[in-house]
Amino acid sequence: MRCINKTVDQQIALFGQSGSGKTALLCSFYGTARESSQEDVKLFEISAEDDRHTELMRLYLGMRDDSLFPPANRFESKNTVFSLKQKGVPIKEARKADQVRVTWNNYPGEWFEGGATTESEKQDKINTFRNLLGSDVALFLVDGQRLHDYADDEERYLTYLFDSFTESLSQIKEAILEDGTPLQQFPRIWVIALSKADLWPDLTVTEFENLLIKKAGNEINELRSKLLEFIDNDEAFSFGKDFLLLSSAKFIPGHIDLSQRKGVDVLLHLACVLPIQQQLWWQELRVLPINLANRLVGNELIKNGMKVIFKMVNNKFVDNKKGLAMLDFAKLVMEMVDQPVEKLQNLRGVAIEKREFLKALTADFTSRLKQAQTDKILVWDFA
């Protein structure tokens, strides 16, 4: 029997210094996604909560029509929940339709560099970090403008970047880990992304990866070690293996060209598909996938060919309805992750005709991630 109103929930956290372009990325992502959803070929419609929708669209239209760069949000953390629903579903069927929800969590850049000074700000910093712990994917931004400013001396900037966050984590570690107990709920997948990649038009994502390893390999390892201090079961963890080029637009003096964005259009795909794909890989190693498993059905043999039993924690808090939706979604990812792009596109078309939204969405997202690899803007380690 079909599970009614299957809802898949995923979260993404964004970490970057002040001025690294987090707000512009969010506005570019939402505004262009909203506009493209009006196309006849678009699979889904995306919407944000009412107050966030108005604010994000206001800033996006300022970028698009008036070339106004979004203002900085100092010490301000706003979570935005996006809903993805199949396009063209009749109103009377909308409540029973499958959907995907993605929560975008932002960590203020000033806190990234240890900027909290008052007791109130320090507590806000700790609370905000706690709120990010449920994220499936974390993006760690390298500011393309600062990297450009330190041409021929990139090591100086990159050392400061990674060391600053390592120190920031050290300052809040004791407050986050109650009684020193490692966390079970913590972002397991960290993607290092170059923001403002339009300033580096000829750079491939592999060259970006090589630059980081060459200039800041030790600092990356130190940050990885610091992050591992926060989590239980450190085998199911990835930092420094996945890389992405990101640009919210092409910025030239007096003009913002949003048609020349890069990497922004696969952020949803990363948030939804990458965590499950890596969770499946970790299962093959018999590594407990805590973050996803917490939302699946406890102590049940994974259905439809998934032969690993998820060990559960806090079973009484598991939402079985959402857990079943995640199982279905995980099965779809497992079926599609090794398929070629051409077959994924065919699967997408058939699923649309049959109104199988999650299947169509998974095929679409997986094919776009593979295309991003081909276009040399994404390194996806386990794809």
pLDDT recorded at residue 307: 36
Report, as an integer, the average pLDDT of 130-139.
85
3-state secondary structure of 193: strand
Count up the domains in the chain and report the number. 1
Higher pLDDT, 301 or 43: 43
pLDDT for residue 207 is more than 90: yes
pLDDT for residue 296 is more than 60: no
pLDDT for residue 313 is more than 60: no
Report, as an integer, the average pLDDT of 304-311.
34
1 part of a folded domain: no
Region of poorest pLDDT, from 39-53, 89-103, 287-301: 287-301
287 part of a folded domain: yes
Dmax over CA atoms of the chain, in Å, equals 62
Q: Confidence class of residue 73 from pLDDT cuts 50, 70 and 90?
A: low
pLDDT recorded at residue 380: 76
Interval 210-266: pLDDT, tens: 999 999 999 999 999 999 999 876 666 889 899 999 999 998 888 999 989 999 988
Interval 17-40: pLDDT, tens: 888 999 999 999 999 988 876 554
| CA gap 18, 110 in Å, rounded | 6
pLDDT recorded at residue 77: 65
pLDDT for residue 194 is more than 70: yes
| β pairing state of 80-86 and 255-257 | unpaired
178 part of a folded domain: yes
Average pLDDT, the chain: 79
Interval 154-190: pLDDT, tens: 999 999 999 999 998 998 899 999 888 888 788 888 9
151 part of a folded domain: yes
29 part of a folded domain: yes
Report, as an integer, the average pLDDT of 197-213.
96
2 part of a folded domain: no
Interval 332-360: pLDDT, tens: 877 887 889 899 989 988 988 888 888 88
| CA gap 223, 162 in Å, rounded | 7
Report, as an integer, the average pLDDT of 141-151.
95
168 part of a folded domain: yes
Long-range contacts of 123-131 (CB under 8 A, 24+ apart): 124/75, 124/77, 125/172, 126/172, 126/175, 126/176, 128/77, 129/172, 129/176, 130/176, 131/77, 131/79, 131/105
Which residue's structure tokens are 């493209």?
Answer: 36
Per-residue DSSP letters for 197-254? GGG-TT--HHHHHHHHHHHHHHHHHHHHHHHHTTBSSTTS-EEEEEEEE-BSSEEETT
Q: What is the pTM of this model?
A: 0.82
In which domain, by residue range, is 277 found? Answer: 7-379
CATH of the domain at 256: 3.40.50.300
189 part of a folded domain: yes
